[in-house]
Homo-oligomer: A and B are copies of this chain.
Amino acid sequence: MTPIVTLLTDFGLRDPYVGIMKAVILSTAPTARLVDLTHQVGPQNILQGAFALASAVRYCPPATVHLAVVDPGVGSGRDAIVVQTHRARYVAPNNGLLTLALENDRPVRAWRLNRPQYFLPEVSRTFHGRDIFAPVAGHLACGRSPEDMGEPLPLDGLVKLTIPRPEETGGGIRARVVYVDRFGNLVTNLMGADIAHRPVRSVRIAQQFIPFAHTYASVPKGDYLCIWGSTGNLEIACSMGDAGGQLSVGEGVEVTVFLEDSSEAPHGGAAGVTP
């Protein structure tokens, strides 16, 4: 069976760019099954794209081809690469977009794409998604080996983003909002493993203490809560509301996380207790 090809870009859905990439993939791999992860990564926001991709790849069947294009360096000297992992294959610019996905799905081999016979006949300087990445993804979906399409790239040649990590400080754990979703949920970079799965008591953000809860529905409508979200990251949310909008908080903002066994913070009240 032809594998799934997932697509993740910052191309949006207003222009036909994504549809064109799909037409190119299907021209090569007519039976490929295409799954959009998202095309609304912020323009040129590689970190946001990396986060979205990493949250999705574990749910895809083995041998999936992941095509990811957030590519501010298109037309410059940055390489186009294929990475083979234990579970999947990735086609992307070598600009760090795969950083987070490859933390959980370790790379085995990588190639730099340098065989134009696997690209479209004419390669533009502005749309490698169409001219290079899509045809290569199609060939991978058809079973062609990456070795045919590029030269080996040592794994330490893979560009990695510097990802901010949570830090344990005297006054709680310093974390950071790394993603804001459509509901206004503020996804932080703190995962359970970072704190040895110790229970969280509250989060301080925008001068408010937000208490921990196990479900959105367990707090009254309109109240803030922090919760382990669907990606395994700690999130700040608002029951039936938009936490990001109401708190005027976006990606990059620092938060402080307090654990149940720590003594620094009061248990946050429903409306948020100012310290």
Contact = CB atoms under 8 A, between A and B. Distances in A.
A15 B182 contact: yes
B40 A214 contact: no
Contact of A16 (B18, B37, B64): B37
Contact of A13 (B13, B76, B124, B229): B13
Interface in A8-31: 8, 11-20, 22-24, 26-27, 30-31
Contact of A1 (B30, B40, B215): B30
A70 to B, nearest CB: 12
A249 interface: no
Q: A interface, how many residues as a size bin?
A: 35 or more
Contact of A217 (B1, B30, B74): B74
Which of A1, A31, A217, A235 counts the most B-chain CB atoms under 10 A from its CB? A217
Contacts of A218: 75-76
Contacts of A104: none
A79 to B, nearest CB: 13
A273 interface: no
Q: Copies of this chain, how many?
A: 3
Which of A8, A40, A235 counts the most B-chain CB atoms under 10 A from its CB? A40
A109 interface: no
Given A218-B75, A218-B76, A38 B26 contact: no
Which of A1, A8, A59, A240 counts the most B-chain CB atoms under 10 A from its CB? A59
B26 A13 contact: no
Interface of chain A, main secondary structure? loop
A240 B74 CA distance: 11
Interface in A22-79: 22-24, 26-27, 30-31, 33, 35-40, 43-44, 52-53, 55-56, 59-61, 64, 72-76, 78
20 contacts: A13-B13, A15-B38, A16-B38, A16-B55, A16-B56, A17-B181, A19-B35, A20-B59, A22-B36, A26-B35, A27-B60, A27-B61, A30-B33, A44-B240, A59-B130, A72-B216, A72-B240, A74-B217, A124-B229, A124-B230
